[in-house]
Chain A
């Protein structure tokens, strides 16, 4: 039987751009170019490796996001995923992590799955909570923050490097896995991959397709509210000295003056 893998990927504003808030205090997605979150490339890569190791597997990439988020799906398809699902609805604007996990859960169930793979965190929100929320909603084991992962005999195993210890984890399928940027470099799409991706199916779904009430998502459905956002004042220009042989001593003098020594 085919192993059904769903990879959740997010389309995010480029972190090297000048990111801002829109007037409604949501992330401004117009000002800066978007792309497939780099941390989700690792998720796609691990899914591809798990699929390679399986007798038979099918990878669906899933995103919840605006029209442009299709670019993220294209990239994942060109890396080698088989098909894509795009959940797109104007009502989704401003959805928080709790709401996003609801939409992802409904979409994953719609697609059908044995294994859900996610990144460790999105590079814009960086909360890193959607994987745990999604596992909770689906009622399946969470095997998260893995730097190594393998699937065989209906089981997921992996290594989680925590603060205090490195843990070897195990769970039965169906399960949700999130992988870190320590899990191995993601492949670049090949020319062949890019060409093939153009022919791969992308299914578009809206909230009604998934039976989700618009009141449960979007800015209005969010269970948190941003009151204000202020740009951090630029740090006042510091003192810069060129080392002419005394640089270390000068720095020490500064640290002493600041009472660090």
Chain B
């Protein structure tokens, strides 16, 4: 059967959830071949096999961590040459999109970014995208070359589908451009112990209405009572109340959880762009006219300083 390359997103071999979702999608089109770059392939390979990888191509070299983007493009290009895949699926992270773009150009292939679904079609894979701040849904195809598609987190279920997952080393020869941009230093982001924003089943966000960094503890307590990730509007981030890494929206993270809880957020188009595809949306806002209420399944018009603590207490009580 035709093979589909899947670029693995991982932290030292700990495979991130979106990659497992890609394996689910890849199995609809063909046999997934995972490409694992950097350290930790031993840890990753059994997990990838468990989720459908028929083969795991691995390469490790200092270039992958010491230089930006291009070494991974060289490696993925080598994988494409080795396998002749019918499609290449890449996680839609900032880095993933850049890798995919350069790869597509080298392969002479079209690229589709930020797909929220991928299905098999008569003329190759069909990718669904959500555009214009999720006002429209489009379906597109790559008409030239090997389709290169980047896929957003939460686009498919993670499914167990045991396969051979044979590990094979990948031969990579780095080109001249590989060492063009040096990573001089790297400061890992501190873990909060909460779920990853883009992968979380529930996201609880705070906006300008939270009115101060210290008040974000209210949002965090609500999030923790639900086992949720914490998000913030750009207004809250710009005010310095919460880190930019938690921003939801056009220039922050795009999330698509089962439940999105917006607190003190008006619902500007740029915020909606990052959360409108959430399954269930609820909001607390003291302004009954706030546009966020156009999106909600359930909304409370009220002061978040009253409503949120009561909600948290009630959730804790119900959970016992």
Instruction: Report A's interface with B, CB cutoff 8 A.
Output: 15-16, 19-21, 25, 39, 96-98, 101, 120-121, 123-124, 126-129, 131-133, 135-137, 139-145, 147, 157, 160-172, 175, 180-182, 222-232, 235, 238-243, 245-252, 254-256, 258, 260-261
Say how far A221's CB is from chain B's closest CB, in angstroms: 9
Considering the complex, which residues of chain B in the window 184-238 have a beta carbon less than 8 Å from any beta carbon of chain A?
184-189, 202, 226
**Complex Cα gap A172–B218 (Å):** 46
Closest to B188 in A: A165
CB atoms of B270 and A162 under 8 A apart: no
CB atoms of A251 and B293 under 8 A apart: no
CB atoms of A222 and B110 under 8 A apart: yes
- Given the known interface contacts A133-B102, A223-B143, the answer about A139 and B177 at a Cβ–Cβ threshold of 8 Å is yes
**Complex Cα gap A113–B299 (Å):** 53
- Given the known interface contacts A169-B181, A231-B135, the answer about A181 and B251 at a Cβ–Cβ threshold of 8 Å is yes
CB atoms of B136 and A227 under 8 A apart: no
List the one stretch of B22-30, B92-100, B157-165 in contact with chain A. Answer: B92-100
- Given the known interface contacts A132-B98, A182-B244, the answer about A232 and B137 at a Cβ–Cβ threshold of 8 Å is yes
Specify which chain A residues have a CB less than 8 angstroms from the CB of B312 in the assembled complex.
248
Specify which chain A residues have a CB less than 8 angstroms from the CB of B298 in the assembled complex.
238-241, 251, 254
**Complex Cα gap A97–B105 (Å):** 10
Say how far A174's CB is from chain B's closest CB, in angstroms: 10
- Given the known interface contacts A16-B269, A167-B186, A260-B202, the answer about A242 and B302 at a Cβ–Cβ threshold of 8 Å is yes
**Complex Cα gap A165–B126 (Å):** 33
Instruction: Report B's interface with A, CB cutoff 8 A.
Output: 11, 68-70, 73, 93-95, 97-102, 104-106, 109-114, 126, 130-145, 177, 180-189, 202, 226, 244-245, 250-251, 258-259, 269-270, 273, 276, 280-282, 284, 288, 293-303, 306-315, 318-319
Would you give 6 A-B contacts (Cβ < 8 Å), ordered by A?
Answer: A19-B135, A132-B69, A132-B98, A132-B99, A147-B244, A248-B309
CB atoms of B314 and A128 under 8 A apart: no
Specify which chain B residues have a CB less than 8 angstroms from the CB of A164 in the assembled complex.
11, 188-189
> For the complex, would chain A's binding face be called helix, strand, loop or mixed by DSSP majority?
mixed
CB atoms of B110 and A223 under 8 A apart: yes
CB atoms of A136 and B102 under 8 A apart: yes
- Given the known interface contacts A228-B139, A230-B136, A230-B137, the answer about A15 and B270 at a Cβ–Cβ threshold of 8 Å is yes
CB atoms of A15 and B133 under 8 A apart: yes
Specify which chain A residues have a CB less than 8 angstroms from the CB of B311 in the assembled complex.
247-249, 251-252
Closest to A221 in B: B144
**Complex Cα gap A194–B51 (Å):** 59
Specify which chain A residues have a CB less than 8 angstroms from the CB of B295 in the assembled complex.
235, 238
Interface pairs A-B: 9 shortest CB-CB: A243-B302, A248-B310, A223-B110, A141-B180, A252-B314, A248-B311, A129-B101, A132-B98, A223-B144
Say how far A116's CB is from chain B's closest CB, in angstroms: 13
Closest to A181 in B: B251
Say how far A164's CB is from chain B's closest CB, in angstroms: 6
Say how far A253's CB is from chain B's closest CB, in angstroms: 8
CB atoms of B94 and A223 under 8 A apart: no
Say how far A251's CB is from chain B's closest CB, in angstroms: 5
Excluding A142-B181, A171-B181, A232-B276, 16 further A-B contacts by CB distance (< 8 Å) are A127-B114, A133-B105, A135-B102, A141-B177, A143-B181, A160-B68, A167-B183, A223-B144, A227-B141, A230-B138, A240-B301, A248-B310, A251-B284, A251-B307, A251-B311, A260-B280
Q: Residue B300 contacts which of A166, A182, A247 (CB distance < 8 angstroms)? A: A247
Say how far A24's CB is from chain B's closest CB, in angstroms: 13
Specify which chain B residues have a CB less than 8 angstroms from the CB of A182 in the assembled complex.
244
- Given the known interface contacts A164-B188, A171-B182, A248-B309, the answer about A223 and B145 at a Cβ–Cβ threshold of 8 Å is yes
Specify which chain A residues have a CB less than 8 angstroms from the CB of B95 in the assembled complex.
162-163
Closest to B177 in A: A139
Q: Residue A136 contacts which of B105, B110, B202 (CB distance < 8 angstroms)? A: B105
CB atoms of A251 and B98 under 8 A apart: no
CB atoms of A224 and B302 under 8 A apart: no
